[in-house]
Structure 1
Amino acid sequence: MKKLLLKSLFILLLLTPMISAAHFPNQSYIFISVYETNGIEGRFEINTREINKVFNLNLRDNVTAEEFKPYEEQLKAYILKHAAFSSKYGSHNIVLKNVGLLDISQGTMVQVFFKLDNMEKLPQLLDVKYDVVYEKDDTHRGYLITENSWAAGVINQEANISLSFTPNETEATLDLSDTSIWKGLIAMIKQGVWHIWIGLDHILFLLALILPSVVRRVRKKETNVTGNSVSIESSNWVPVESFKDAFFYVIKIITFFTIAHTITLSLASLEIVKLPSRFVETIIALSIGLAAYHNIKPIFKGKDWIIAFVFGLFHGFGFASVLSDLGLSSENLGLSLLGFNIGVEIGQLLIIAMMFPVLYLLRKTKIYKKILLYGSIFLIIVSLYWVIERTFDIKFGLDDQFKSFIRRIINALGLWS
């Protein structure tokens, strides 16, 4: 039975990328973002292979922007003819904007961005008509994906299919009424948890901070050549005797880290303070190495919280960049900020809850000193790797592989939806 479960898990890990793929050649998409005060905007995405069918062209799979430019207006006119939105407030004209290209393994998706007019008030029901490509290919399928709808609890979800279209069903109605503040808040909490879980640099910084939580440096007195007794700090560590001592050490460190990143997350999200992204990410990488080095040779003797607080400020700017990337509008920024920060704290506590008991149980073993030393050296090496990568804007790809690995595990185990 155990072998069967392991095999099933392995198969799921392999299949997850295929199952979760959002784009296929014979499918086209309408991605929409719903805002309570700004109405609805989004983009159409159609594969170049499908465009070739419609216009009898011979565009290559990886077409460039320059190569496609002569066909932009033709595609826009075609979309306006084959797509429509309406509600009880009347017709919502499609105002087409710029055209972009998205390269995927199955070719190039042509993106046509748009905004709906006559949206002074958001309708509860939105009628959608969509019959792109069907006249040339009856196997083609169209999908409307609600990518963002804060009040519906949908944040940056490219696989959230709300409507589907076929040659026999080219019209459908989107229900926009199932919304609440709580859904939006909970969605942002989940985003906070998720981004701390896949934020390897944040996780390693936490690890560097709590590695010495279950041991203490010993001080011993030695006599110097003048005969005076002096106190020096040895490089040796002794395990703490009580769980209370170790636990309160963690509480103190994490409290200062939390206060720090909450301050800068708020300041950056409210656009009061801004720092260059590459600079912030480089300092975050550097923070791991310095915190790890502090475990080998103290930088701030007896004041470990200084590292947690000072570098926590930069980690807050890092969290803010993630919040910005989610494409949230200013109308829910306060609640988004609150929910995201709560999620970060929950995710952080869960990570510590997994790490700390293991460290505490191992503290009196001979191996723990080696874990502390060699673990810190490993963290310094990782830190230097990221510093080089981020300083010189070089992508080695390990971050993407890690995130993909985590997504596969979480999806396979059903821990996230």
Structure 2
Amino acid sequence: MLPVLPDRHWCTRASSGGRHLMWILLALALFGTSSDVLAHAVAQGDKGYIQEITGVNLIAFMYLGAKHMVTGYDHLLFLLGVIFFLYRMQHIALYVSLFALGHSTTMLLGVYFNIGINSYIIDAIIGLSVVYKALDNLGAYQRWFGFQPNTRAATLIFGLFHGFGLSSKIIEYDISPDGLVPNLLAFNVGVEIGQIIALAMILIVMGFWRKTDGFFRHAYTANVAMMSAGFLLVGYQLTGYFVA
């Protein structure tokens, strides 16, 4: 069983450091919900490039994949939640691999078979994945329902939704079928490279943070902030769906 926050009274009070973490995460979510930085949107320059090129362009698509992951705040929030209480590298590798498997499968198959999902709906589900993981880290399911959901299955399933989020956007750009398969594979390799880079940065920060005396006190606030950011993303996407 994965560790969760201890059920102690002091965990319910946010320290000044914890409040800073909350504002950082909420600011990240607010930045992400701006009209020009949608969760799975591709930058305008990259969008035009994708639509114009034909043939096999492995390096270009690998770069675009890595860029997407490193700048994909929704992916990073979920990834942070997944590894928040993982200390052993074999556990981190297992859960990140499950997320990558789900993400890669639906991204590749979704584009290849032209399976698109409304971008507002899929991004709202991705926001819910952040909420789910934050609540899991807080031990909410054990307290509310008396059982712990299968964390491995949840990571894989939400990885599938994250992949559909990206495939739906790629489909909208109607990229050339010439060289589609190798370009998609290169894009996916880039995504995984970006994920490794992002994960390394997260683990470095988490490593220093975990050595501090106030880690658990701040961790409670950080997960509440993560949950709030997830709800903010869900609300933004659902608003877009109903008013678009």
Structure 1 alignment gaps of length 5 or more: 1-32, 34-41, 43-144, 152-180, 215-245, 395-417
Structure 1 CA distance for aligned equivalents of residues 140 and 115 of structure 2: 31
Structure 2 CA distance for aligned equivalents of residues 185 and 208 of structure 1: 31
Q: 1:209 aligns with which of 82, 94, 99?
A: 82
Given that 1:264 and 1:314 are in contact with CA atoms closer than 8 Å, whether structure 2 keeps it comes out as yes
2:59 alignment partner in structure 1: 186
Given that 1:212 and 1:372 are in contact with CA atoms closer than 8 Å, whether structure 2 keeps it comes out as no
2:104 alignment partner in structure 1: 262
Residues 6-17 of structure 1: matches in 2 within 5 Å? none
Structure 2 CA distance for aligned equivalents of residues 146 and 365 of structure 1: 45
Query: SS where residue 178 of structure 2 aligns?
Result: helix
TM-score relative to the length of structure 2 = 0.71
Q: 2:138 aligns with which of 296, 299, 322?
A: 296
Q: What's the C-alpha RMSD, in Å, of the aligned pairs?
A: 2.6
Structure 2 CA distance for aligned equivalents of residues 312 and 148 of structure 1: 29
1:373 alignment partner in structure 2: 220
| Structure 1: 4+ residue segments shifted above 3 A | 298-303
TM-score relative to the length of structure 1 = 0.43
Report the structure, 1 or 2, having the larger strand content. Answer: 1
For residues 335-390 of structure 1, the C-alpha deviation after alignment (integer angstroms, 9 at most, x for no partner) is 12101111110111100000112212332422211232111100111111111111
Residue identity opposite 2:80 in structure 1: L
Q: Number of aligned residue pairs: give it.
A: 191
Residue identity opposite 2:67 in structure 1: W
Deviation at 1:307, TM superposition (A): 2.2
Given that 1:191 and 1:340 are in contact with CA atoms closer than 8 Å, whether structure 2 keeps it comes out as yes
1:286 alignment partner in structure 2: 128
Q: 1:393 aligns with which of 218, 221, 240?
A: 240
For residues 38-67 of structure 1, the C-alpha deviation after alignment (integer angstroms, 9 at most, x for no partner) is xxxx9xxxxxxxxxxxxxxxxxxxxxxxxx
Give the 3 Å change call, closer, same or farther, for CA 256–286 of structure 1 in structure 2.
same
2:53 alignment partner in structure 1: 149
Q: Which has the higher contact order (CA 8 A, sep 6+)?
A: 2
Structure 2 CA distance for aligned equivalents of residues 200 and 347 of structure 1: 12
Report the structure, 1 or 2, having the larger helix content. Answer: 2
Deviation at 1:248, TM superposition (A): 1.1
Is residue 247 from structure 1 mapped to residue 94 from structure 2 by the alignment? no
Deviation at 1:262, TM superposition (A): 1.2
1:309 alignment partner in structure 2: 156
2:115 alignment partner in structure 1: 273
Query: SS where residue 328 of structure 1 aligns?
Result: coil
Structure 2 alignment gaps of length 5 or more: 1-46, 142-146
Give the 3 Å change call, closer, same or farther, for CA 198–326 of structure 1 in structure 2.
farther
